[in-house]
Amino acid sequence: MSLAKKVAFDPTLAEAVRTGLGARPKTLPPWLFYDEEGSRLFEAITELPEYYPTRTERAILETFATEIMAAAGHPGCVIELGSGSARKTALLLEAVFTHRPEVVFHPIDVSAAALDEAKTQLGERLPNLRVEPVCGHYLPALEALAHAGGPRLILFMGSTLGNFEPGEAIAFLRELRSHLRPDDLFLLGLDLEKDPAILVPAYDDAAGVTAAFNLNLLARLNRELGADFDLDAFRHLALWNAVEHRIEMHLVSLKPQTVRFAATGLEITFIEGERIHTENSYKHPPAEVDRILAEGGFAPVAAWTDARGWFTLRLARPR
């Protein structure tokens, strides 16, 4: 008798897989990474010596959290899109909490496990903080918080916007802008362009944790859609696309093979060397960050970066 945890059929997941694997080239959306195991692996990635983005963003927050929250007007409501475990966010919450002890924090994430961890660790660190998580995708979850009191600060850190295509990033910001009030503020974290010798190892670490994170996407499809992916028949590939200014992650088929999905009846054929494009991570020059925010409908308020100019946090207001 199997003791495996049964996962409910998710039609959104099934449609994303049908559309992405039916495309040429094959793709899968990066939100599929973040099931319970994927969230655990990503937290492990953030602690790797090669993975500088989390460490660099955290250093900016450690230095400037008080200044950032003062510039944001010590908001009474903080909402984070794609919060994960919110470990870095605790630095901002601590900075505002001394001025406004009634602050409420709404972490938004697709991973219920990550939200549980966020609530637990923030409860230990700031026991009087109100933490009210919302499990879901960014903008629908933000819409569910339309009633939240203000002033509100919306966070989108970790360079997650870099996973969007440039046109999609601007469209996302415009849609986000439509959900905001005139007195809301927006704090965006973005990774900046730098030497590929620094970039590529951050997405292809020596310990193989990022490879496991990428391959877990296929394991998730096995668990949740009854697929029969052989994980040993695929390998992780990370590369720098200099023309597009982005890191790309792929899964490469090591042989001709056909994968079947018991839950949907879908069959997908791969040739040897064929790739599934699983993630882009754009690395922007600073001027490009300004342009994206402006075209997305935001006006600059303040900016912070690390001493090496590797990462930036931009505070903006809706225009």
**Phi and psi at residue 193, to the nearest 5°:** -65, 140
Residues 103 and 173 in one domain: yes
Residue 44 belongs to some domain of the structure: no
Number of domains in the chain: 2
Q: Looking at the structure, do residues 204 and 184 belong to the same domain, yes or no?
A: no
CA distance 1 to 39: 28
Same domain for 204 and 231?
A: yes
- What domain range is 252 assigned to? 11-32+198-282
Select the more confidently predicted residue: 54 or 9: 54
Residue range 52-80, pLDDT digits in tens? 999 999 999 999 999 999 999 999 999 99
| Residue with the two structure tokens 């969007």 | 164
In-domain check, residue 42 = no
Give a yes or no: residue 47 inside a domain: no
Residues 163 and 302 both lie in one domain: yes
Same domain, 205 and 313: no
Band of residue 7 on the pLDDT scale cut at 50, 70, 90: low
Give yes or no: residues 166 and 302 share one domain: yes
8 A C-beta contact, residue 77 and residue 106: yes
Among all chains, which residue has been given the structure tokens 């990462």?
A: 311
Phi, psi of 177 (to 5 degrees): -55, -35
Q: What's the CATH number where 158 sits?
A: 3.40.50.150
- Give yes or no: residues 175 and 289 share one domain: yes
Reported as a single tens digit per residue, the pLDDT across 218-270 is 999 999 999 999 999 999 999 999 999 999 999 999 999 999 999 999 999 99
**82 within domain boundaries:** yes
What is the distance between the alpha carbons of residues 163 and 185, in angstroms, rounded to a whole number?
Answer: 22
Distance (Å, whole) CA 7 – CA 252: 27
Please tell me whether residues 105 and 254 are part of one structural domain. Answer: no
Are 57 and 155 members of one domain? yes
In a domain, 38, yes or no: no
